[in-house]
Protein backbone atom coordinates (compact mmCIF):
# COMPACT_ATOMS: atom_id res chain seq x y z
CA UNK A 1 0.00 0.00 0.00
CA UNK A 2 1.47 3.34 -1.06
CA UNK A 3 2.19 5.91 1.60
CA UNK A 4 -0.57 8.34 2.61
CA UNK A 5 0.62 11.91 2.39
CA UNK A 6 0.82 13.85 5.67
CA UNK A 7 -1.54 16.51 4.35
CA UNK A 8 -4.30 13.91 4.08
CA UNK A 9 -4.00 13.01 7.77
CA UNK A 10 -4.07 16.68 8.75
CA UNK A 11 -7.21 17.22 6.68
CA UNK A 12 -8.85 14.21 8.36
CA UNK A 13 -8.15 15.64 11.83
CA UNK A 14 -9.47 19.05 10.73
CA UNK A 15 -12.64 17.48 9.37
CA UNK A 16 -13.22 15.51 12.56
CA UNK A 17 -12.90 18.69 14.65
CA UNK A 18 -15.42 20.50 12.45
CA UNK A 19 -17.84 17.59 12.66
CA UNK A 20 -17.63 17.68 16.45
CA UNK A 21 -18.33 21.38 16.90
CA UNK A 22 -21.37 21.52 14.59
CA UNK A 23 -23.36 19.64 17.24
CA UNK A 24 -24.19 20.64 20.81
CA UNK A 25 -22.20 21.51 22.70
CA UNK A 26 -20.95 23.98 21.24
CA UNK A 27 -23.32 23.65 18.24
CA UNK A 28 -21.71 25.86 15.59
CA UNK A 29 -24.15 24.49 13.03
CA UNK A 30 -23.11 26.87 10.20
CA UNK A 31 -19.87 24.91 9.83
CA UNK A 32 -21.80 21.83 8.71
CA UNK A 33 -21.51 23.17 5.13
CA UNK A 34 -17.71 22.82 5.35
CA UNK A 35 -17.15 20.00 7.85
CA UNK A 36 -16.91 17.09 5.39
CA UNK A 37 -15.01 18.93 2.64
CA UNK A 38 -11.56 18.38 4.22
CA UNK A 39 -12.25 14.64 4.51
CA UNK A 40 -13.36 14.44 0.87
CA UNK A 41 -10.26 16.34 -0.27
CA UNK A 42 -8.10 14.03 1.83
CA UNK A 43 -9.64 10.96 0.21
CA UNK A 44 -9.08 12.31 -3.29
CA UNK A 45 -5.58 13.75 -2.74
CA UNK A 46 -4.01 11.24 -0.39
CA UNK A 47 -1.00 9.61 -2.03
CA UNK A 48 1.95 10.78 -4.09
CA UNK A 49 1.62 10.23 -7.80
CA UNK A 50 5.24 9.34 -8.23
CA UNK A 51 6.27 12.65 -9.74
CA UNK A 52 8.19 14.65 -7.17
CA UNK A 53 6.94 18.14 -7.82
CA UNK A 54 4.67 20.02 -10.16
CA UNK A 55 4.25 23.79 -9.89
CA UNK A 56 5.97 23.76 -6.50
CA UNK A 57 3.73 21.16 -4.84
CA UNK A 58 3.62 17.39 -4.54
CA UNK A 59 1.19 15.85 -7.01
CA UNK A 60 -1.39 13.67 -5.25
CA UNK A 61 -3.81 11.00 -6.35
CA UNK A 62 -7.00 9.50 -4.82
CA UNK A 63 -6.82 6.87 -2.13
CA UNK A 64 -6.85 3.16 -2.65
CA UNK A 65 -9.85 1.50 -1.00
CA UNK A 66 -7.73 0.41 1.95
CA UNK A 67 -6.30 3.88 2.43
CA UNK A 68 -9.77 5.37 2.16
CA UNK A 69 -10.96 3.09 4.94
CA UNK A 70 -8.05 4.07 7.20
CA UNK A 71 -8.57 7.80 6.68
CA UNK A 72 -12.32 7.56 7.15
CA UNK A 73 -11.93 5.29 10.17
CA UNK A 74 -9.55 7.72 11.87
CA UNK A 75 -12.00 10.56 11.20
CA UNK A 76 -14.91 8.55 12.59
CA UNK A 77 -13.09 7.55 15.76
CA UNK A 78 -12.11 11.16 16.46
CA UNK A 79 -15.67 12.34 15.75
CA UNK A 80 -17.25 9.85 18.13
CA UNK A 81 -14.67 10.55 20.82
CA UNK A 82 -15.36 14.28 20.60
CA UNK A 83 -19.15 13.96 20.38
CA UNK A 84 -19.96 11.00 22.62
CA UNK A 85 -17.33 11.72 25.27
CA UNK A 86 -20.13 11.57 27.85
CA UNK A 87 -20.03 7.78 27.67
CA UNK A 88 -16.88 7.91 29.81
CA UNK A 89 -18.60 9.64 32.73
CA UNK A 90 -21.77 7.54 32.38
CA UNK A 91 -19.84 4.27 32.59
CA UNK A 92 -17.57 5.54 35.38
CA UNK A 93 -20.21 7.17 37.59
CA UNK A 94 -23.14 4.79 37.03
CA UNK A 95 -21.68 1.69 35.42
CA UNK A 96 -19.39 0.77 38.25
CA UNK A 97 -16.27 1.00 36.07
CA UNK A 98 -12.95 2.44 37.10
CA UNK A 99 -11.51 5.38 35.17
CA UNK A 100 -9.29 3.20 32.93
CA UNK A 101 -12.14 0.73 32.32
CA UNK A 102 -14.54 3.54 31.38
CA UNK A 103 -11.91 4.97 29.04
CA UNK A 104 -11.53 1.56 27.45
CA UNK A 105 -15.31 1.33 27.01
CA UNK A 106 -15.33 4.71 25.23
CA UNK A 107 -12.39 3.65 23.05
CA UNK A 108 -14.09 0.40 22.03
CA UNK A 109 -17.28 2.34 21.27
CA UNK A 110 -15.34 4.71 18.99
CA UNK A 111 -13.58 1.78 17.33
CA UNK A 112 -16.91 0.15 16.57
CA UNK A 113 -18.94 3.13 15.36
CA UNK A 114 -15.95 4.64 13.53
CA UNK A 115 -16.28 1.76 11.08
CA UNK A 116 -19.05 3.68 9.29
CA UNK A 117 -16.84 6.65 8.47
CA UNK A 118 -14.31 4.03 7.40
CA UNK A 119 -16.92 2.46 5.12
CA UNK A 120 -17.55 5.85 3.50
CA UNK A 121 -13.82 6.25 2.84
CA UNK A 122 -13.56 2.75 1.44
CA UNK A 123 -16.48 3.31 -0.96
CA UNK A 124 -15.00 6.60 -2.17
CA UNK A 125 -11.73 4.76 -2.79
CA UNK A 126 -13.50 2.06 -4.76
CA UNK A 127 -15.19 4.61 -6.99
CA UNK A 128 -12.04 6.70 -7.44
CA UNK A 129 -10.05 3.81 -8.86
CA UNK A 130 -6.46 4.34 -9.96
CA UNK A 131 -7.05 7.33 -12.23
CA UNK A 132 -7.10 11.08 -11.62
CA UNK A 133 -10.73 11.67 -12.56
CA UNK A 134 -12.48 12.97 -9.44
CA UNK A 135 -15.89 13.33 -11.01
CA UNK A 136 -17.31 9.91 -10.22
CA UNK A 137 -16.51 9.88 -6.46
CA UNK A 138 -17.51 13.54 -6.10
CA UNK A 139 -20.89 13.04 -7.75
CA UNK A 140 -21.54 9.91 -5.72
CA UNK A 141 -20.31 11.17 -2.34
CA UNK A 142 -23.74 12.47 -1.14
CA UNK A 143 -25.40 9.19 -2.12
CA UNK A 144 -22.68 7.18 -0.38
CA UNK A 145 -22.93 9.26 2.80
CA UNK A 146 -26.70 8.81 3.07
CA UNK A 147 -26.37 5.08 2.35
CA UNK A 148 -23.84 4.80 5.18
CA UNK A 149 -26.14 6.75 7.52
CA UNK A 150 -28.92 4.30 6.68
CA UNK A 151 -26.60 1.40 7.47
CA UNK A 152 -25.68 3.01 10.78
CA UNK A 153 -29.37 3.29 11.63
CA UNK A 154 -30.42 -0.16 10.51
CA UNK A 155 -27.40 -2.35 11.24
CA UNK A 156 -25.72 -0.94 14.33
CA UNK A 157 -28.82 0.66 15.78
CA UNK A 158 -27.10 3.84 16.92
CA UNK A 159 -27.84 6.69 14.49
CA UNK A 160 -26.70 9.28 17.01
CA UNK A 161 -26.46 12.72 15.37
CA UNK A 162 -27.04 12.03 11.71
CA UNK A 163 -25.55 14.93 9.77
CA UNK A 164 -28.89 16.54 8.93
CA UNK A 165 -29.65 17.06 12.64
CA UNK A 166 -27.18 19.97 12.60
CA UNK A 167 -29.76 22.01 10.64
CA UNK A 168 -32.75 21.40 12.92
CA UNK A 169 -33.00 25.16 13.60
CA UNK A 170 -33.05 25.95 9.89
CA UNK A 171 -36.84 26.01 9.51
CA UNK A 172 -36.87 26.57 5.74
CA UNK A 173 -34.37 23.83 4.91
CA UNK A 174 -35.52 21.31 7.49
CA UNK A 175 -39.03 21.20 5.99
CA UNK A 176 -37.72 18.77 3.34
CA UNK A 177 -37.52 16.20 6.14
CA UNK A 178 -41.30 15.89 5.82
CA UNK A 179 -40.63 14.19 2.47
CA UNK A 180 -37.20 12.61 2.78
CA UNK A 181 -36.64 12.33 6.51
CA UNK A 182 -33.48 13.74 8.03
CA UNK A 183 -31.50 11.95 5.30
CA UNK A 184 -32.56 14.55 2.73
CA UNK A 185 -30.94 17.29 4.81
CA UNK A 186 -27.76 15.22 5.12
CA UNK A 187 -27.76 14.91 1.33
CA UNK A 188 -28.08 18.70 0.88
CA UNK A 189 -25.21 19.32 3.28
CA UNK A 190 -22.99 16.83 1.44
CA UNK A 191 -23.76 18.46 -1.90
CA UNK A 192 -22.34 21.76 -0.66
CA UNK A 193 -19.35 20.04 0.94
CA UNK A 194 -18.66 18.25 -2.34
CA UNK A 195 -18.78 21.54 -4.27
CA UNK A 196 -16.35 23.09 -1.80
CA UNK A 197 -14.02 20.08 -1.99
CA UNK A 198 -14.13 20.17 -5.79
CA UNK A 199 -12.80 23.74 -5.69
CA UNK A 200 -9.56 22.36 -4.23
CA UNK A 201 -9.30 19.52 -6.72
CA UNK A 202 -9.66 21.38 -10.03
CA UNK A 203 -6.89 23.39 -11.71
CA UNK A 204 -6.15 26.70 -10.00
CA UNK A 205 -7.59 28.82 -12.80
CA UNK A 206 -11.02 27.27 -12.18
CA UNK A 207 -10.83 27.30 -8.39
CA UNK A 208 -12.12 30.80 -7.77
CA UNK A 209 -15.42 30.37 -9.62
CA UNK A 210 -16.16 26.97 -8.07
CA UNK A 211 -15.26 28.19 -4.58
CA UNK A 212 -17.54 31.22 -4.99
CA UNK A 213 -20.40 28.99 -6.15
CA UNK A 214 -19.96 26.64 -3.18
CA UNK A 215 -19.89 29.50 -0.67
CA UNK A 216 -22.93 31.11 -2.32
CA UNK A 217 -24.86 27.83 -2.08
CA UNK A 218 -23.95 27.50 1.60
CA UNK A 219 -25.04 31.09 2.25
CA UNK A 220 -28.37 30.65 0.48
CA UNK A 221 -29.19 27.40 2.24
CA UNK A 222 -28.09 28.69 5.63
CA UNK A 223 -30.19 31.83 5.12
CA UNK A 224 -33.21 29.69 5.89
CA UNK A 225 -32.11 29.97 9.51
CA UNK A 226 -33.04 33.67 9.34
CA UNK A 227 -36.58 33.05 8.10
CA UNK A 228 -39.18 33.57 10.81
CA UNK A 229 -41.97 31.07 10.15
CA UNK A 230 -45.47 32.02 11.32
CA UNK A 231 -46.37 30.86 14.84
CA UNK A 232 -48.28 27.64 15.23
CA UNK A 233 -51.63 27.65 17.00
CA UNK A 234 -51.93 25.20 19.88
CA UNK A 235 -55.37 24.59 21.34
CA UNK A 236 -54.52 22.23 24.20
CA UNK A 237 -52.29 22.16 27.27
CA UNK A 238 -50.30 19.35 28.84
CA UNK A 239 -48.65 19.35 32.25
CA UNK A 240 -45.13 17.95 31.96
CA UNK A 241 -43.65 17.10 35.36
CA UNK A 242 -39.87 17.32 35.68
CA UNK A 243 -39.06 15.08 38.64
CA UNK A 244 -35.35 15.93 39.04
CA UNK A 245 -34.50 12.66 40.78
CA UNK A 246 -30.85 11.65 40.95
CA UNK A 247 -30.05 8.48 39.03
CA UNK A 248 -27.79 7.41 41.89
CA UNK A 249 -30.44 7.87 44.62
CA UNK A 250 -30.71 5.13 47.23
CA UNK A 251 -34.25 3.95 47.82
CA UNK A 252 -36.08 2.76 50.91
CA UNK A 253 -39.84 2.22 51.23
CA UNK A 254 -40.07 5.47 53.19
CA UNK A 255 -38.07 7.57 50.69
CA UNK A 256 -39.97 6.10 47.76
CA UNK A 257 -43.31 6.94 49.40
CA UNK A 258 -42.14 10.46 50.23
CA UNK A 259 -41.03 11.05 46.63
CA UNK A 260 -44.32 9.73 45.33
CA UNK A 261 -46.26 12.03 47.66
CA UNK A 262 -44.19 15.05 46.63
CA UNK A 263 -44.65 14.38 42.92
CA UNK A 264 -48.40 13.85 43.13
CA UNK A 265 -48.77 17.00 45.24
CA UNK A 266 -46.70 19.00 42.75
CA UNK A 267 -48.79 17.67 39.86
CA UNK A 268 -52.15 18.40 41.47
CA UNK A 269 -51.16 21.91 42.57
CA UNK A 270 -49.65 22.76 39.17
CA UNK A 271 -52.75 21.55 37.32
CA UNK A 272 -55.07 23.46 39.66
CA UNK A 273 -53.07 26.69 39.39
CA UNK A 274 -53.29 26.73 35.60
CA UNK A 275 -56.25 29.05 35.26
CA UNK A 276 -55.44 30.00 31.66
CA UNK A 277 -56.52 26.69 30.16
CA UNK A 278 -57.73 23.24 31.12
CA UNK A 279 -54.97 20.66 31.35
CA UNK A 280 -55.75 17.93 28.80
CA UNK A 281 -52.86 15.62 29.60
CA UNK A 282 -50.41 14.99 32.45
CA UNK A 283 -47.04 13.41 31.70
CA UNK A 284 -44.49 11.99 34.14
CA UNK A 285 -41.10 11.15 32.60
CA UNK A 286 -39.04 8.01 32.56
CA UNK A 287 -37.90 7.92 36.15
CA UNK A 288 -34.90 6.57 38.05
CA UNK A 289 -37.30 5.88 40.95
CA UNK A 290 -38.41 2.21 41.16
CA UNK A 291 -42.06 2.83 40.31
CA UNK A 292 -43.49 -0.60 39.41
CA UNK A 293 -46.82 -0.89 37.64
CA UNK A 294 -47.81 -3.76 39.94
CA UNK A 295 -47.00 -1.78 43.10
CA UNK A 296 -50.37 -0.96 44.71
CA UNK A 297 -48.98 2.20 46.35
CA UNK A 298 -47.87 3.56 43.00
CA UNK A 299 -51.07 2.51 41.24
CA UNK A 300 -53.32 3.98 43.91
CA UNK A 301 -51.41 7.26 44.03
CA UNK A 302 -51.48 7.66 40.25
CA UNK A 303 -55.16 6.76 40.02
CA UNK A 304 -56.09 9.21 42.77
CA UNK A 305 -54.04 11.94 41.09
CA UNK A 306 -55.77 11.33 37.74
CA UNK A 307 -59.19 11.47 39.39
CA UNK A 308 -58.34 14.67 41.22
CA UNK A 309 -57.05 16.34 38.06
CA UNK A 310 -59.81 14.79 35.91
CA UNK A 311 -57.09 14.33 33.30
CA UNK A 312 -55.58 11.54 31.21
CA UNK A 313 -52.13 10.68 32.55
CA UNK A 314 -48.98 9.12 31.09
CA UNK A 315 -46.38 7.98 33.61
CA UNK A 316 -43.02 6.33 33.15
CA UNK A 317 -42.68 3.15 35.21
CA UNK A 318 -41.22 -0.32 35.31
CA UNK A 319 -43.88 -2.48 33.70
CA UNK A 320 -44.49 -6.05 34.68
CA UNK A 321 -47.12 -8.65 33.98
CA UNK A 322 -46.82 -10.01 37.50
CA UNK A 323 -49.52 -9.10 40.01
CA UNK A 324 -47.62 -10.09 43.13
CA UNK A 325 -44.32 -8.60 44.19
CA UNK A 326 -41.76 -7.50 41.63
CA UNK A 327 -41.10 -10.80 39.90
CA UNK A 328 -41.40 -11.88 36.30
CA UNK A 329 -40.24 -10.13 33.11
CA UNK A 330 -40.01 -6.35 33.36
CA UNK A 331 -40.30 -3.61 30.75
CA UNK A 332 -39.40 0.06 30.49
CA UNK A 333 -42.95 1.32 30.22
CA UNK A 334 -45.36 4.22 30.04
CA UNK A 335 -48.67 3.71 31.83
CA UNK A 336 -51.89 5.22 30.43
CA UNK A 337 -54.40 6.17 33.15
CA UNK A 338 -57.88 7.58 32.53
CA UNK A 339 -59.48 10.56 34.35
CA UNK A 340 -61.47 8.04 36.37
CA UNK A 341 -58.26 6.43 37.64
CA UNK A 342 -58.52 3.32 35.50
CA UNK A 343 -55.29 1.89 34.09
CA UNK A 344 -56.26 1.58 30.42
CA UNK A 345 -53.09 0.60 28.55
CA UNK A 346 -49.32 0.58 28.61
CA UNK A 347 -46.55 1.19 26.09
CA UNK A 348 -43.52 -1.06 26.54
CA UNK A 349 -40.27 0.24 25.11
CA UNK A 350 -39.18 -1.68 22.02
CA UNK A 351 -35.70 -0.36 21.23
CA UNK A 352 -33.65 -0.93 24.38
CA UNK A 353 -30.32 0.73 25.21
CA UNK A 354 -27.36 -1.67 25.05
CA UNK A 355 -25.60 -1.86 28.44
CA UNK A 356 -28.24 0.43 29.97
CA UNK A 357 -31.33 -1.76 29.61
CA UNK A 358 -29.95 -5.03 28.40
CA UNK A 359 -26.50 -6.57 28.25
CA UNK A 360 -25.46 -7.79 24.78
CA UNK A 361 -23.21 -10.84 24.86
CA UNK A 362 -23.30 -11.08 28.69
CA UNK A 363 -20.20 -13.26 28.96
CA UNK A 364 -18.08 -10.88 26.90
CA UNK A 365 -19.36 -7.65 28.48
CA UNK A 366 -19.99 -8.77 32.05
CA UNK A 367 -17.67 -6.00 33.30
CA UNK A 368 -20.25 -3.41 32.14
CA UNK A 369 -23.23 -4.99 33.87
CA UNK A 370 -23.53 -2.43 36.65
CA UNK A 371 -24.94 0.46 34.62
CA UNK A 372 -28.42 -0.02 36.08
CA UNK A 373 -29.89 -2.33 38.64
CA UNK A 374 -32.17 -3.73 35.96
CA UNK A 375 -29.49 -4.21 33.29
CA UNK A 376 -30.01 -7.42 31.40
CA UNK A 377 -33.55 -7.79 32.72
CA UNK A 378 -35.70 -5.53 30.53
CA UNK A 379 -37.74 -7.22 27.82
CA UNK A 380 -38.75 -5.60 24.53
CA UNK A 381 -42.26 -4.42 23.76
CA UNK A 382 -43.97 -5.39 20.54
CA UNK A 383 -46.35 -2.60 19.45
CA UNK A 384 -45.96 0.96 18.24
CA UNK A 385 -49.65 1.71 18.19
CA UNK A 386 -50.69 4.98 19.83
CA UNK A 387 -52.42 4.88 23.21
CA UNK A 388 -56.19 4.64 22.79
CA UNK A 389 -59.31 5.08 24.89
CA UNK A 390 -59.44 8.88 24.90
CA UNK A 391 -60.38 11.64 22.47
CA UNK A 392 -56.66 12.03 21.81
CA UNK A 393 -54.21 9.35 20.68
CA UNK A 394 -50.64 10.05 21.82
CA UNK A 395 -47.72 8.14 20.38
CA UNK A 396 -45.32 7.50 23.26
CA UNK A 397 -41.68 6.56 22.81
CA UNK A 398 -39.10 6.32 25.56
CA UNK A 399 -35.69 7.97 25.85
CA UNK A 400 -33.34 7.28 22.97
CA UNK A 401 -36.03 5.69 20.82
CA UNK A 402 -36.40 9.28 19.58
CA UNK A 403 -33.16 8.99 17.56
CA UNK A 404 -34.65 6.38 15.20
CA UNK A 405 -36.54 8.17 12.40
CA UNK A 406 -38.39 5.22 10.91
CA UNK A 407 -39.45 3.82 14.28
CA UNK A 408 -40.96 7.10 15.47
CA UNK A 409 -42.80 7.76 12.21
CA UNK A 410 -44.62 4.44 12.63
CA UNK A 411 -46.55 5.92 15.57
CA UNK A 412 -47.91 8.69 13.35
CA UNK A 413 -48.56 6.26 10.52
CA UNK A 414 -50.74 4.22 12.90
CA UNK A 415 -52.73 7.24 14.03
CA UNK A 416 -50.77 9.09 16.73
CA UNK A 417 -51.98 12.71 16.80
CA UNK A 418 -49.28 14.01 19.14
CA UNK A 419 -45.88 12.62 20.12
CA UNK A 420 -44.80 12.18 23.74
CA UNK A 421 -41.18 11.40 24.52
CA UNK A 422 -40.45 10.51 28.14
CA UNK A 423 -36.80 10.32 29.05
CA UNK A 424 -34.27 10.21 31.87
CA UNK A 425 -31.37 12.33 30.63
CA UNK A 426 -29.80 12.40 34.08
CA UNK A 427 -27.34 9.74 32.89
CA UNK A 428 -25.63 12.40 30.77
CA UNK A 429 -24.88 14.82 33.60
CA UNK A 430 -23.98 18.29 32.36
CA UNK A 431 -22.40 17.10 29.13
CA UNK A 432 -23.76 18.12 25.75
CA UNK A 433 -25.67 14.85 25.37
CA UNK A 434 -28.95 16.24 26.70
CA UNK A 435 -28.91 18.98 24.03
CA UNK A 436 -27.89 16.49 21.34
CA UNK A 437 -30.81 14.29 22.36
CA UNK A 438 -33.24 17.23 22.29
CA UNK A 439 -32.24 18.21 18.74
CA UNK A 440 -32.78 14.68 17.47
CA UNK A 441 -36.18 14.58 19.16
CA UNK A 442 -37.10 17.89 17.51
CA UNK A 443 -36.34 16.42 14.08
CA UNK A 444 -38.95 13.72 14.66
CA UNK A 445 -41.58 16.45 15.05
CA UNK A 446 -40.51 18.00 11.72
CA UNK A 447 -40.48 14.72 9.81
CA UNK A 448 -44.02 13.85 10.87
CA UNK A 449 -45.61 17.29 11.26
CA UNK A 450 -46.53 16.57 14.88
CA UNK A 451 -46.45 18.46 18.13
CA UNK A 452 -44.03 16.74 20.47
CA UNK A 453 -44.09 16.84 24.28
CA UNK A 454 -40.68 16.08 25.78
CA UNK A 455 -40.90 15.16 29.47
CA UNK A 456 -37.54 14.42 31.08
CA UNK A 457 -36.34 13.68 34.59
CA UNK A 458 -33.72 16.44 34.75
CA UNK A 459 -34.32 18.40 31.51
CA UNK A 460 -34.81 19.53 28.86
CA UNK A 461 -38.58 19.37 29.43
CA UNK A 462 -40.25 21.19 26.57
CA UNK A 463 -43.10 21.59 24.10
CA UNK A 464 -42.00 21.34 20.46
CA UNK A 465 -44.14 22.45 17.53
CA UNK A 466 -44.39 20.69 14.13
CA UNK A 467 -41.61 22.93 12.77
CA UNK A 468 -39.24 21.63 15.44
CA UNK A 469 -39.26 24.88 17.42
CA UNK A 470 -39.16 24.78 21.21
CA UNK A 471 -42.17 26.93 22.14
CA UNK A 472 -42.02 26.36 25.91
CA UNK A 473 -39.46 24.89 28.29
CA UNK A 474 -38.38 24.97 31.93
CA UNK A 475 -34.89 25.16 33.47
CA UNK A 476 -32.94 21.94 33.84
CA UNK A 477 -32.28 20.22 37.16
CA UNK A 478 -35.30 21.65 38.97
CA UNK A 479 -38.31 19.80 40.34
CA UNK A 480 -41.11 21.67 38.67
CA UNK A 481 -43.84 21.37 36.04
CA UNK A 482 -44.38 22.93 32.63
CA UNK A 483 -47.76 23.84 31.18
CA UNK A 484 -46.96 22.84 27.61
CA UNK A 485 -49.11 24.01 24.68
CA UNK A 486 -49.84 21.52 21.92
CA UNK A 487 -52.41 20.51 19.33
CA UNK A 488 -53.60 17.31 17.70
CA UNK A 489 -52.79 16.58 14.04
CA UNK A 490 -54.22 13.82 11.90
CA UNK A 491 -52.63 14.64 8.52
CA UNK A 492 -49.58 12.61 7.59
CA UNK A 493 -46.44 13.65 5.74
CA UNK A 494 -44.94 11.82 2.78
CA UNK A 495 -42.18 10.60 5.09
CA UNK A 496 -44.72 9.31 7.62
CA UNK A 497 -46.42 7.25 4.93
CA UNK A 498 -43.36 5.99 3.07
CA UNK A 499 -40.52 5.98 5.59
CA UNK A 500 -36.87 5.85 4.54
CA UNK A 501 -37.52 5.68 0.80
CA UNK A 502 -34.98 8.41 0.06
CA UNK A 503 -32.20 6.76 2.03
CA UNK A 504 -32.90 3.42 0.35
CA UNK A 505 -32.86 5.12 -3.05
CA UNK A 506 -29.42 6.55 -2.24
CA UNK A 507 -28.26 3.08 -1.20
CA UNK A 508 -29.53 1.53 -4.45
CA UNK A 509 -27.88 4.25 -6.55
CA UNK A 510 -24.64 3.73 -4.63
CA UNK A 511 -24.71 -0.01 -5.24
CA UNK A 512 -25.41 0.63 -8.93
CA UNK A 513 -22.43 2.97 -9.19
CA UNK A 514 -20.15 0.47 -7.47
CA UNK A 515 -21.31 -2.35 -9.75
CA UNK A 516 -20.78 -0.17 -12.81
CA UNK A 517 -17.29 0.70 -11.60
CA UNK A 518 -16.51 -2.97 -10.97
CA UNK A 519 -17.80 -4.12 -14.36
CA UNK A 520 -15.96 -1.37 -16.26
CA UNK A 521 -12.74 -2.22 -14.42
CA UNK A 522 -13.21 -5.90 -15.21
CA UNK A 523 -13.86 -5.09 -18.87
CA UNK A 524 -10.74 -2.94 -19.04
CA UNK A 525 -8.65 -5.76 -17.57
CA UNK A 526 -10.09 -8.20 -20.09
CA UNK A 527 -9.32 -5.94 -23.06
CA UNK A 528 -5.75 -5.41 -21.89
197, 315: one domain: no
d(CA 15, CA 74): 11
User: Taking a C-beta distance cutoff of 8 angstroms, is the pair 314, 335 a contact?
Assistant: yes
Q: Are strands 312-320 and 330-337 parallel, antiparallel or unpaired?
A: antiparallel
Rounded Cα distance between 504 and 499, Å, is 10
Distance CA 328, CA 252 (A): 21
- pLDDT tens for 120-155 read 999 999 999 866 678 899 999 999 999 999 999 999
In a domain, 399, yes or no: yes
Distances 253 to 250, 295, 304, 316, 323 between C-alpha atoms, Å: 10, 12, 20, 19, 19
- Specify the pLDDT at position 522: 72
pLDDT tens digit string along 84-120? 999 999 999 888 889 999 999 999 999 999 999 999 9
In a shared domain, residues 122 and 242 = no
Helix, strand or coil for residue 54?
strand
Do 175 and 255 lie in one domain? The reply is: no
Residue 95 placed within a domain: no
Of the candidates 177, 167, 33, the residue with the CA atom closest to the CA atom of residue 439: 167
- Name the phi and psi angles at 147, rounded to 5: -60, -40
Q: What are phi and psi of 442, to 5 degrees?
A: -60, -35
Strand 236-242 relative to strand 480-486, pairing: antiparallel
Note whether 153 and 277 are same-domain residues: no
Per the domain annotation, does 269 fall within a domain? yes
Residues 259 and 217 in one domain: no
CA-to-CA distance for 91 and 113, rounded, in angstroms? 17
- Please indicate, yes or no, if residue 13 is contained in any of the structural domains: yes
Own/partner pairs, 157-160, CB within 8 angstroms, 24+ separation: 157/351, 157/354, 157/404, 158/113, 158/403, 159/403, 159/404, 159/405, 160/83, 160/84, 160/403, 160/436, 160/440
Beta bridge partners of 238: 281, 484
Alpha-carbon Rg for the chain, nearest whole angstrom, is 25
In a domain? residue 307: yes
| CA angle in degrees (0–180, nearest 5) for 205-211-215 | 165
Nearest by Cα to 41 from 71, 65, 4, 8: 8
Q: For residue 328, what pLDDT is reported? A: 79
> Do 138 and 28 share a structural domain?
yes
* 247 and 163 in a common domain: no
- Residues 181/503, Cβ–Cβ less than 8 Å: yes
Q: What's the N-to-C CA distance of the chain in angstroms?
A: 23
Cα dist. 72→44, 112, 149, 159 in Å? 12, 13, 14, 17
Secondary-structure percent of the chain, ordered helix, strand, coil, rounded to 5:
50, 15, 35
Q: Is the pTM for the entire model greater than 0.85? A: yes
Q: Is the pLDDT of residue 362 over 90?
A: no
Is residue 59 situated within a structural domain? yes
**Do 477 and 460 touch, CB atoms closer than 8 A?**
no
Q: What is the CATH number of the domain that holds 302?
A: 3.60.110.10
Band (pLDDT 50/70/90 cuts) for residue 178 is very high
**Residue percentage of the chain with pLDDT more than 90:** 79
Same domain, 52 and 150: yes
Question: Would you say residue 53 has pLDDT above 60?
Answer: no
Please give the torsion angle defined by the CA atoms of residues 124, 128, 129 and 133, in that order, rounded to the nearest 10 degrees: 180
User: DSSP character for 317?
Assistant: E
- Same domain? 286 vs 180: no
Q: Is residue 132 assigned to a domain?
A: yes
Mean pLDDT is lowest, of 286-290, 310-314, 368-372, 386-390, for 368-372
312 and 338 within one domain: yes
In this structure, are 267 and 354 located in the same domain?
A: yes
Q: Which residues pair with 48 in a beta bridge?
A: 60
Give a yes or no: residue 446 inside a domain.
yes
Task: Yes or no: say if 50 and 108 are a contact pair by the CB < 8 Å rule.
Answer: no
Within this chain, do residues 216 and 244 fall inside the same structural domain, yes or no? Answer: no
Asked whether residue 372 carries a pLDDT value surpassing 60, the answer given is: no
Per-residue pLDDT tens for 413-446? 999 999 999 999 998 888 999 999 999 999 999 9
Domain ranges, residue 427:
237-487
Q: Is the pLDDT of residue 373 over 50?
A: no
Distance, in Å, from the CA atom of 35 to the CA atom of 27, rounded to the nearest integer, reads 13
Least confident of 224-233, 340-349, 502-511: 224-233
Total count of domains within the chain:
2
Amino acid sequence: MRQIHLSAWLLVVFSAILQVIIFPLPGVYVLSWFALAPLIVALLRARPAGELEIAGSVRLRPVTPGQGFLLGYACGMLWYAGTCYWIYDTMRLYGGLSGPEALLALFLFCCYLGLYHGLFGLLVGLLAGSGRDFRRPLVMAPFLWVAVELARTRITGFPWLLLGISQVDNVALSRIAGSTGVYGISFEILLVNVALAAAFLVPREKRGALLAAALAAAAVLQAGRLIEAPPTKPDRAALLVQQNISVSAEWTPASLQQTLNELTELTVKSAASNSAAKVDLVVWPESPAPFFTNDTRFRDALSEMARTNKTWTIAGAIGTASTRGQTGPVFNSAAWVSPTGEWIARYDKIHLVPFGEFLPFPTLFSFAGGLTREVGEFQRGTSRRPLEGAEQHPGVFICYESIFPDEVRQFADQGAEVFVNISNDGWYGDSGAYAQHLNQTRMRAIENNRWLLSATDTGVTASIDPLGRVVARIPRKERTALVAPYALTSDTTFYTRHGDWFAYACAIISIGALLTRFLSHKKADASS
